[in-house]
Structure formats: structure tokens, C-alpha cells
């Protein structure tokens, strides 16, 4: 599943990412939703989730979005100045399934490495402002 932050704001950083993961751990304890991987980029989050067959995707999305938003706003109130209107997530989401023939390891690695491809791509490269005195 992929959830973009409201207005695609770049809100995911150290503390927000940590609080997101803590909230997901609590969801895991209270509901039968297992977070296999959680990965964030600057403006969206990827989740590899295992749920029970009787729980719909919509129900999982509702639980995850509502609880994580509430916890992030409570623990990171500074985020509210970027996300006016009281919503942390956009109203939409992307969901896909990993079936019997899907490769869970490949998807897990993809989710785990969200946002890191840019670090690797640009590490060590000169920028326009390098060397300007």
C-alpha cells in the first residue's frame, strides 16, 4: 500500500518516520494487521502488510490512516503547520497484492529502501553551488 501525505508535503523525516513506525507497532498489537515492511520517502509512505482474509483492504486502510495520523499529530504537532485542515494523509491510496506467485522478497526490499535511491544516486556528485566562493 502507498499513502501520500496531504498536499504531497515533504513531512517524513526522523521524528515523523519514527512515530509512524511506533504507531504501526501499536496497530499490529491491537488488530490482526502485520506490517512486514514500512518505508518512507519525503512525501509518501509504503507499507507491506499482511492482514486476515476477512478484513477488507478498505478497512485496513481506514485503520492505518486514522491511527497513524492521530499519533503523528499528537507526537509531532509541528507537522500541523504544513498540513492545515486536520488531515495527514490524502483521501486516496494505492493498494496491490502479493499473491502466491509474487516475489515477497523483492517487494519487501523495494519498500524498505524507499527514499534511499536518491541518496545513492547523488552521493558524491557535485552540485551547482559546489566550489562557489
pTM here is 0.77
Reference 16, options 111, 83, 61; nearest CA is 83
Q: How many CA atoms lie within 13 A of 132 on its CB side?
A: 5
d(CA 125, CA 70): 39
Determine the pLDDT at residue 62.
97
Which whole-number Å values give the CA distances from 79 to 20, 54, 117, in the listed order? Answer: 13, 34, 25
Q: Could you state, in order of their start, the residue ranges of all structural domains in the chain? A: 2-122
What pLDDT shows up at residue 127? 46
Return the CATH class of domain 2-122. alpha beta
pLDDT means per 10 residues, the chain with 133 residues, are 95 93 97 95 94 94 97 94 89 86 74 66 47 44
Amino acid at each position: 500500500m502507498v499513502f501520500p501525505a496531504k498536499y504531497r508535503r515533504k513531512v517524513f523525516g526522523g521524528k515523523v518516520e519514527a512515530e509512524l513506525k511506533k504507531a504501526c507497532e501499536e496497530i499490529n498489537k491491537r488488530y490482526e494487521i502485520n506490517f512486514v515492511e514500512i518505508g518512507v520517502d519525503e512525501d509518501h509512505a509504503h507499507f507491506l502488510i499482511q492482514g486476515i482474509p476477512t478484513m477488507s483492504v478498505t478497512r485496513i486502510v481506514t485503520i492505518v490512516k486514522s491511527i497513524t495520523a492521530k499519533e503523528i499529530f499528537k507526537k509531532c504537532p509541528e507537522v500541523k503547520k504544513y498540513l492545515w485542515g486536520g488531515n495527514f494523509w490524502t483521501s486516496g491510496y494505492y493498494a496491490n497484492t502479493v499473491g502466491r506467485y509474487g516475489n515477497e522478497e523483492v517487494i519487501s526490499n523495494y519498500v524498505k529502501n524507499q527514499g534511499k535511491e536518491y541518496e545513492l544516486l547523488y552521493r558524491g556528485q557535485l552540485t551547482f553551488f559546489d566550489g562557489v566562493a
